[in-house]
Structure 1
Amino acid sequence: MPMPEMKQMLEPAALQALLNDSRLDASLAHQQPQAWAQVWEGLTYRSVSYAPSSLAYQQAYLEDAGWQLQDISLILQTDGRPCGIFPLALGGPPASVSLSGFGGPLMAPLFVQGLSPNTVKKICARLLELLQMLAQRLGQNSLNLQQAVLPDQTALGLSEWSQQLLAAGASVTVKHDLFVDLSPSLDEIRAGFRKSFRPLINAGLRHWQVDLMDAAAADVAVWEELKALHLDVAGRKTRSDDSWQRQFAMIQAGEAFMVTLRDPETHRLVGAGVFQINRDEGLYGVGAYDRALFDKPLGHVVQQVAIEYLKRQGTRWYRLGERQFAQDQPTPSAKQLSISAFKQGFASHVFARPEFVWPMASGV
């Protein structure tokens, strides 16, 4: 069945006209992938969410769900030189068009090290002006935005981006993200785990056959086993082969790895977790665990082995995911609360993540 046509597409010429009107010096990222890589190399902290492979995977995942997305991510420039990146997508479910950070709130721009505060201030102001013009063109009454947690920069206080959003009339709520600081020794990191987890991890390490698959050991047959386990656990196919292939390609490229658990007698795969990785951050991506063995220490072992690998690779922080609370909006399910409470048992830090709603009636 053909996909329904998007209500509206933004032609490059129309975007360029808006860029000119906002006086923002920027170019489309998909036209200059080398510029994105150049900025990436100069970032103080590389959040996995901003990696090109992550954005492409997220787009493929949403398109599997029936979304139509146009990637209009921007390379931000000063004096014609790339200095920042800003992920931005246009589209949504059928017959719906809006601006998003590839299905979620708009992400904050990231800038290279050493950029002057005045330059950052000017670029943020002009970027917000561009977003307002885009939203008005689309008839979008408000924008949802967030400030990603950059652990090494939390001591700097509220970012310029967040300050300008608040000054422009945005309201703010607070979400929370779980991290593990990987700078201490492994013994110190493990000592910080929830006390009840430690004997479970030890028992699991004795009971399961534990393997790790990274770029040096990428095996498509093992990957197919994970897909089969995920299908069995979910009870239906929830993702396309393309999205799975994109994740496997991350492993082949050294941007992800997988921890697997097997029954030592039958060699059957009973659990696995996939993690993205770069110099600064690891991220827990997807996991699948045999439902019949939920009373056994599966996820506990996978998490410890992943943390050990991230530590060996010199990664600075491990992002486990969001810590949800019962009072959050929208209200999380009991399962979501249970999963986030489990993850907190490994975390060394819980960081606040501001989320903003910016009504377009407000000025910049």
Structure 2
Amino acid sequence: MKLLDSKHPDFETLRRDILMRQGGLLSPGHCDYYQAYFDHSFEDCSFALVRGDSRMLLLVTRHWSQGRAVYSWYGRSVQLIDELLPQDRAQSEGLAIKRVQHLLIPGCEFDYQAMTSVLDWLSKLLLSLGVTPCSVIEQKISLHSKEQLLAECRKIYRQNFRWGMQNLVCRIIDSHNVMPADFEQFEAFHIAVAGRRTRSTASWFAQLELTKKGENFLILTEYEERLVGASLFAAVGERAYYSVGVYDRTLFHLPISHYPVWLGLLHAKELGCKVMEMGESYYAGVPDSTGRVPDEKACQISHFKRGFGGELVMGLRFRLCSPQTV
């Protein structure tokens, strides 16, 4: 097996090829977005193991917080993409374990999430280091036919879709028609709904660039000739992700958010995506993947998302926080 680190001349081409196929929040442009969102000085520590079509890719960055090394993937969980052939697995996993052990600094934090019933080598390594995982539940919607998607939705949602078709004006914005003014409007609307600025203008610009590159699309929704909703989806390759949903809270007595998300599902399917990921699903009184009990708002949003159907997939989140040396 050949080990390629992030400085190897062939690494970036290999990574881009894999990530464009994986899609969702892993698409290449999201690196720039999350750097702008979290505003850390990230060091790319990623590596790949390759032999022909047999390959493994670990996406991991390091930044420093209060004197502690923090390992993530630009602020999100470390990502492992395993496309190894069976005959290469034992050797590759051994090399990967040594590489990760070499990376880890005493006193570090390491965040990894495994959405699989069979534990991979990285999960086993973190267990051997004494990390107790928390369970994580994520919602994933298979983008089958329109009829099957409708059948999986709550009955009331089908009525809400019809109301949206009759009363809302939704504009899908992608690489073919996006303008900077669209994201300026999106940013201003987000600030107005939230009542404050929650992230940097640079992160909004990064999302505009993602849309220009064809890795995102945005749906702006109007009701009675005024903006009442903005829904952003990451969509390229096999996966799509419902990234951001902002809606006028004074109109929550009307189903202004259901139809735009429905259109997002259909458009992602048209783009060739196989799955729409809706993110972690929260329940009242049940600790989330960080061990904290989610607030009422997070639970309400998850209840709304679950109405679109799909499956709930359980995994494990490992958060290493080793003692700092004196």
TM-score by length of 1: 0.78
SS of the aligned residue for 1:311 comes to helix
5 Å matches for 1:71-82? 71-78=43-50
* 1:135 correspondence with 2:93: no
- C-alpha contact (below 8 Å) 1:281/1:315 kept by paired residues: yes
Cα drift, residue 211 of structure 1: 1.3
**What is the count of residue pairs matched by the alignment?**
318
Matched with 2:5 is 27
Shift of 1:50: 2.9
- Are 1:290 and 2:251 counterparts? no
| Contact residue 320 and residue 347 of structure 1 kept, 8 A | no
Give me the identity figure in percent. Answer: 23
Gaps of 5+ in 2: none
Q: 1:228 offset after TM fit, Å?
A: 1.4
For residues 58-95 of structure 1, what are the alpha-carbon distances to aligned partners after superposition, in whole Å with 9 as ceiling and x for unaligned?
111111xxxx3222232323479994332222225565
**How big is the shift at 1:164?**
3.8
Specify the alignment match of 2:314 in structure 1: 352
| 2:123 is equivalent to residue 162 of structure 1 | yes
Of the three residues 16, 20, 25, the one matched with 1:49 is 25
Q: Indicate if the aligned counterparts of 2:135 and 2:317 stay in contact, CA closer than 8 A.
A: yes
TM-superposed CA distance for 1:296, in Å, is: 1.3
**In the alignment, residue 111 of structure 1 is paired with which amino acid?**
D
**Equivalent position amino acid for 2:149 in 1:** I
Task: Report the counterpart of residue 80 of structure 2 in structure 1.
Answer: 109
User: What is the DSSP-based 3-state SS (H/G/I as helix, E as strand, rest coil) of the residue aligned with 2:92?
Assistant: helix
Letter in structure 2 aligned against 1:75: F
Partner of 1:247: 207
| Residue of 125, 130, 141 corresponding to 1:180 | 141
Does the 8 Å contact 1:169/1:359 carry over to 2? no
Q: Which amino acid counterpart does residue 332 of structure 1 have in structure 2? A: P
Shift of the alpha carbon at 1:318? Answer: 0.4
Q: Is the 8 A contact 1:108 1:161 kept in 2?
A: no
1:246-302 CA-to-partner distances (Å, cap 9, x unmatched) read 101111110000112112x43x21111011111111011122211221111122111
Match of 1:197 among 138, 154, 157: 157
d(CA) in 1 for partners of 2:314 and 2:147? 27
- 1:338 is aligned to 300
1:25 and 1:80 in contact (8 A); partners too: no
- Looking at structure 2, the residues matched to 92 and 334 of structure 1 have their Cα atoms a distance apart, in angstroms, of 32
Tell me the residue number matched to 2:112. 145
Q: Which residue of 2 aligns with 1:36?
A: 12
Q: Alpha carbon RMSD of aligned pairs, Å? A: 2.8
Amino acid at match of 2:216: A
Looking at structure 2, the residues matched to 42 and 255 of structure 1 have their Cα atoms a distance apart, in angstroms, of 14
Within the candidate set 264, 280, 286, 1:327 is matched to 286
Partners of 1:211 and 1:348 lie apart in 2 by 25
Aligned counterparts of 1:311 and 1:38: Cα–Cα separation in 2: 26
Bigger Cα displacement from structure 2, 250-259 vs 122-131 = 122-131
For residues 144 and 313 of structure 1, what CA distance do their matches in structure 2 show? 31
Query: In the alignment, is residue 214 of structure 1 matched against residue 186 of structure 2?
Result: no
Alignment correspondent of 1:3: none
Q: Greater shift after overlay, 114-123 or 171-180?
A: 114-123
Amino acid across the alignment from 1:219 = M
Tell me which amino acid in the other structure corresponds to 1:202: R
Distance across 1 between alignment mates of 2:193 and 2:120: 41
Please say if 1:90 is aligned against 2:62.
Answer: yes
Bigger relative contact order, structure 1 or 2, given CA contacts below 8 A and separation 6+? 2
| Structure 1 or 2: more strand by fraction | 2
Gaps of 5+ in 1: 1-23
The answer as to whether partners of 2:69 and 2:105 remain within 8 angstroms in 1 is: no
C-alpha separation between the residues in 2 aligned to 1:295 and 1:74?
47
Specify which of 259, 264, 271 is matched with residue 229 of structure 2: 271
Q: Displacement of 1:353 after TM fit? A: 2.1
Q: Distance in 1 between matches of 2:54 and 2:201?
A: 35
1:326-356 Cα deviation digits (max 9, x unpaired):
2212110000011011111113111112112
Task: State the Cα distance separating 1:102 from its structure 2 match.
Answer: 2.5
Aligned position for 1:307:
265
- Tell me: CA distance 1:47–1:160, structure 2 relative to 1, closer, same or farther (3 Å): farther
TM-aligned CA distance change 1:216 to 1:339, over 3 Å: same
